[in-house]
Structure 1
């Protein structure tokens, strides 16, 4: 299964999404939490062997610098370079937000204008699975990033020696189907409770994405930062 991540147009687009979830002024968001979510997202892409472009890695290094400086003791007599870096980052996100809103308005006007012309039907065929820019799907992936970080720590602290197995997406799709049938509203993290290693965790997630793609299961999230549930199509 080949997955292409097209949810974000770049690192600032991802940061804007993370910041907007706090529903407060951009300069009041807890920047450390945003940084941790960004780094977890990039780390998950790498663990799943998905392509991570250079601009994401450059931003990750900048965010790690800001985070590391926030952990250092404050020196009152010195200029707080950390605040300069942080404010500069927030200003970039705010400026990006304004341009993105403007772009969306222009796109909306273009869409309305296009209604006055007849256009031939264009059939688009994609062989690979793609994560579209859907809020629920994005939040599902971000939630999985946090879960991956937690599972890595659990496996690291476990002293049990586990022989690596080969997991097939098709087999684990049956597992997800079964869980969604037994639990009408399955909490996302509960799906990975019995996973034996990180490879099984990743394959389980890929199996979940495939079932979402073919619309066998739905993803529900009641509010920002809320729990994410998987629901079988028959229980929607």
Structure 2
């Protein structure tokens, strides 16, 4: 490795000394260049430098903060350092917000009064009753405020409706919607009738008789059968042991009753059993 010449060493030392001297005399650097004096047109807004003090919710909150920060015994408050620290804070907020300082000034007057009463000699004891400590009322207010503040902090961490959760709701109808029953088609009635006729033929006796059948009479029979029942299945109105003419007359009687709006023939759904009920007005 080549040795540095004495001239280079001296030059480097002189350059370093020059930079150190520049750094000492320059009060700032702008884009790497030293500044030795303020620009003539430099404007600094009045709120550019602002002291942000710790926010308090009132005089009691400030007092409690000062007591806890200094680890003072709240039952034996040293009034001199507490009052001094409190007044320092009041002087700061007076310079920023005079309206906000009003409540704090009232507490400051109370602290000064307590401090003055503690400096005065105590009156002689009467009836062996010890005089109340001037700090007692302040201590009671601080303890009550601390309990309230802790309770408020506990409530603040609890989940709140509308912020942390929402209540589910659903509309429940108060009455049931009427069920729309499908209309019985002639084809469905025909299929039911054909099924009855087929069963009747299987059980029919080969007896030749002559019967006098009255449609009106069987209409009355059907109405008597339906009395006392909300509905009767269509097939149960026919006795498969009877002859085909009896079944035919019964079927015609049903059609006549339906035509005269004395009965109603309904069906819950397609291909479901057919029911017959007395029509109500």
Q: TM-score, normalised by structure 2?
A: 0.35
Whose radius of gyration is greater, 1 or 2?
Answer: 2
Name the structure with the higher helix share. Answer: 1
Q: TM-score, normalised by structure 1?
A: 0.41
